[in-house]
Amino acid sequence: MNNILKNKLVIISVIFALSFAKLNAANFVIGFMGQFGASAATTEKGKIFNSDFREFENSFSVQPGIFFSYYDTISSAIFLDIGYSKDRYEFRHGESENRIVENFSLNNISIGLLPRINFGFLSLGIGGGIKIPLSMIYSTEGQYRYSDKYKLDFGDVRDALTEIYYPYLKASVDFLIKGKNRFMMTLGVYANYDFPFNLKNDGILDMAISRRNIASFDIGFQIGLYFVSL
């Protein structure tokens, strides 16, 4: 992860340097991004994922930012990425008739930065930030075990997790479609890694099977609409 963070800082530094060199070409832009993807979860420290992509997720974000145009085919942007996401984690314990399926479903708000650099019709983005769970549903189900389901509000989530937030990293590749009247549209794919969160040993979910290093890796499709000011 240290190498990923170093590469991210290098890319962001290059974009900032180019941006300040052409500050007079800056324009305000606001974007709206929708994402739909699949998620693979893990509880093994150091692994990005160790399960199949079993759960589907969706998110929506508002992205105000600054757009810099250098040449006809090269531009960049720095966005504040503010959004909502519904993240799901599924773990399976045991085999066949003894299997227990465990699920975490989190409703999050996210706040982060998303720099982008555009080459013609291709747009590359890499960024990150934090996610804050507003609510959570925890459930277990098994053939020889009673099904349990717990709904947690924000106060309960604070009692259940060791930290009220967890970081994420996101990268995307999009096709950039420029329209008339300062309108742009993007269609592409993304990858997202949610860093691990942990449950308190004496918290409200002390019955949970998975308790430490709960992380996920997501891949999917996204569509964005952007409006650039004059």
26-42 and 55-69: which strand pairing?
antiparallel
Number of domains into which the chain is organized = 1
Tokens of 212: 């430490």
pLDDT tens track for 40-57: 888 887 666 566 677 788
Beta strands in 70-144 (DSSP E): 74-93, 100-119, 122-142
Reported confidence tier of residue 92, pLDDT bands at 50, 70, 90: confident
Query: Is 181 within 8 Å of 230 (Cβ atoms)?
Result: no
Tokens of 20: 């300040």
Domain coverage including residue 98: 2-228
| Residue 2, C-beta contacts closer than 8 angstroms, at least 6 positions apart | none
Q: Which of 172, 180, 157, 167 is nearest to 227 (CA)?
A: 180
Q: Tell me the residue length of the chain.
A: 230
Query: Is 204 within 8 Å of 176 (Cβ atoms)?
Result: no
Query: Is 107 within 8 Å of 101 (Cβ atoms)?
Result: no
The enclosing domain of 38 has a CATH number of 2.40.160
Mean pLDDT lowest for which of 53-57, 114-118, 187-191, 225-229?
53-57
* 80-94 burial code (b ≥16 CB/10 A, e <16): bbebebebbbbbeee
Mean confidence (pLDDT) of the chain: 85
What is the spatial distance between Cα 172 and Cα 162, in angstroms, rounded to a whole number?
Answer: 30
Integer CA distances (angstroms), 36 to 25, 92, 131, 224, in order: 33, 23, 17, 12
Q: What is the pLDDT of residue 177?
A: 87
Mean pLDDT lowest for which of 25-29, 150-154, 193-197?
25-29
